[in-house]
Amino acid sequence: MKSQETVGGVHDEGKVWGGRFTNGPDPALERISRSPRRYFDLVPQDIRGSIAHLGELERCGLVTRQERIRLVDALEEIGERFDAGEISPAPTDEDVHGFLERQLIERVGALGGKVRAGRSRNDQTANDLRLWLQDRTAEIARGVEQLVDALITRSEDAGGAIVPGFTHLQPAQPVLFGHQLLAHAQALARDLKRLGAARESVSLSPLGAAALAGSSFHGDQIAMAHELGYRDVVGNSIDAVGARDHVIDFLYAGASIGTSLSRLADELILWGSPQFGWIRLHDAFSTGSSIMPQKKNPDIPELTRGKASRLQANLTGMLGVMKSVPFSYNRDFSEDKHYAFDTADVLETVLPAMTGFVRSMAFVPERMSEQAAEGFTLATELADWIAEQGIPFSDAHDITGRAVVACEERGIGIEDLSAADLAEIDPRITPDVLPRLTLESAVMRRGGANGTAPSRQNDQRARLRSEIAEYLAVFVTKEDQG
């Protein structure tokens, strides 16, 4: 059934406005106004919102029970056929709302036009994206959790392998390689907590706000909100349609995850290079060169590092959209879907790839051990021992500095100094220090709660797993619990 001109105006098929217009839109307006094809992915969410809205229309007497059932059946059929690819938006469908109204009217005639009462595209689009974000944040959270689990598991696999820890990308002190992996797991765990906060920020329903002033046909917005899985309703109707900070929260969490992934990616690239040689790349998670037959390239972490900039740009872009618009609905807000969709797509692509890379990489502990003491990483052990003899640490620092100079001149490490060498540097250094100048002693003595000592690693893994379980709880729905 084709839509017809309204009395005294124009109402084009696939649009939900036009009554006060005597001429149709210019093609240039149609091109800029029509939603990108990707935005029609919100059809399932728009149908869910329409079904809940129909319950309100029945409660206030605008539709009968039989009409509501007929409309709900038609909406569910549209959803099934859309998912199956049997129907799709026409060029005349301005947005998801116009597409669904056209489909409804084709099935149930003028009755389909009743669904629009008491609502606006303003609260509809806000609701659609909130529901979509609920679903996608849960999927992304599972991806983050799987990567954290991979890092925790591989930290166990690393056992007692010792590597040089770095500051300023210069050798600093020895650490367990597993401890380095847990550092990345800890950062991603915090990102999961941020993602949970973003999920909480979409837990309020905007439906019933209509265009901006509220609806005269909604008597029980709380019931409608609960039907859709919301915790409550947005407290102010203007804020309900005029806010997008929940999108910004999601984009911020996504940008933070991207930054953590990029830092992990950068170290994976370094560790896999011949200069480090700490890990070997699995064939299934690396690529080759078109000209150099020997190459095995870490494309996954490189691509991940590059895509982090897109995640950061999406956050910046959305902040730019919101910085100077009047506080109500503005068409500028349609950019929210572009940024949210892209962030979700990127994360759902890179997270499983990075997880596979981490799970599949092989360790080369002998290379780690060879490098662990390079760059005088045991110097702090000597300074600490001297301070334990009652010598001020400022003096201990200077004495150790002289020891480093002596080692440089001879081309040896701190661990290669003999008791006679040490006594020559300062007579207060006795042979008792020698057992301390080993990699194993250095890591074992860092036994604080967050230290690199082997005795602390299981505690740190257990604490991380507990934190992850806590952060994931916010994503558990009633359906999951059932």
Instruction: Identify the CATH number of the domain in which residue 323 sits.
Output: 1.20.200.10
By 3-state DSSP, what share of the chain in percent is helix, strand and coil, each rounded to 5? 65, 5, 30
Q: Structure pTM? A: 0.92
pLDDT of residue 7: 36
CATH code, domain with 397? 1.10.40.30
21 belongs to a structural domain: no
Q: Going by C-beta distance under 8 Å and a sequence separation of 6 or more, which residues neighbour residue 269?
A: 298, 301, 302, 305
Residues 68 and 54 sit within 8 Å (Cβ to Cβ): yes
C-alpha 424/C-alpha 414 separation (Å) is 14
As given in the structure block, the two tokens for residue 433 are 């220090």
Residues 288 and 295 sit within 8 Å (Cβ to Cβ): yes
Indicate the burial class of 283 (C-beta count within 10 angstroms; 0-12, 13-18, 19 or more). exposed
The residue among 380, 417, 428 whose CA lies nearest residue 401 is 380
287 belongs to a structural domain: yes
9 belongs to a structural domain: no
Whether residue 275 is found in the same domain as residue 323? yes
C-alpha 403/C-alpha 379 separation (Å) is 8
Q: Which structural domain range is residue 252 located in?
A: 125-370
The residue among 327, 315, 157 whose CA lies nearest residue 243 is 327
Is 168 known to be catalytic?
yes
- Catalytic residue from among 289, 309, 418, 455: 289
412 belongs to a structural domain: yes
Whether residue 231 is found in the same domain as residue 138? yes
Ramachandran bin of 61, using left for φ above 0, alpha for ψ from -120 to 50, beta for the remaining angles: left
pLDDT of residue 17: 45
C-alpha 39/C-alpha 370 separation (Å) is 54
335 belongs to a structural domain: yes
pLDDT of residue 186: 98
C-alpha 173/C-alpha 177 separation (Å) is 12
15 belongs to a structural domain: no
C-alpha 91/C-alpha 88 separation (Å) is 10
As given in the structure block, the two tokens for residue 379 are 């110097």
Whether residue 42 is found in the same domain as residue 161? no
456 belongs to a structural domain: no
Question: In the listed set 320, 342, 370, which residue is the last one of a domain according to the structure?
Answer: 370
Whether residue 164 is found in the same domain as residue 130? yes
CATH code, domain with 35? 1.10.275.10
Whether residue 108 is found in the same domain as residue 201? no
For residue 366, count other CB atoms closer than 10 A to its CB: 10
Whether residue 339 is found in the same domain as residue 391? no
56 belongs to a structural domain: yes
Rounded to 5°, the CA angle 350-353-357 comes to 130
Q: What is the greatest pairwise CA distance in the chain?
A: 105
Owner of token pair 């609701």: 127
C-alpha 282/C-alpha 118 separation (Å) is 58
- Which residues are paired to 274 by β-bridges? none
pLDDT of residue 207: 95
Q: Which residues of the chain have pLDDT under 70?
A: 1-23, 477-482
C-alpha 74/C-alpha 82 separation (Å) is 12
Whether residue 294 is found in the same domain as residue 354? yes
Question: In the listed set 370, 401, 419, which residue is the last one of a domain according to the structure?
Answer: 370
Whether residue 60 is found in the same domain as residue 187? no
Whether residue 420 is found in the same domain as residue 318? no
Whether residue 196 is found in the same domain as residue 108? no
pLDDT of residue 217: 86
Is 184 known to be catalytic?
no
Total domains present in the chain: 3
Q: How many residues in total does the chain contain? A: 482
State the amino acid at position 359 in one-letter form: R
Whether residue 254 is found in the same domain as residue 364? yes
Residues 58 and 140 sit within 8 Å (Cβ to Cβ): no
Question: In the listed set 117, 134, 153, which residue is the last one of a domain according to the structure?
Answer: 117
Reported as a single tens digit per residue, the pLDDT across 184-219 is: 999 999 999 999 999 999 999 999 999 999 998 877
**204-205 and 232-233 beta bridge pairing:** parallel
Reported as a single tens digit per residue, the pLDDT across 357-372 is: 999 999 999 999 999 9
Whether residue 302 is found in the same domain as residue 320? yes
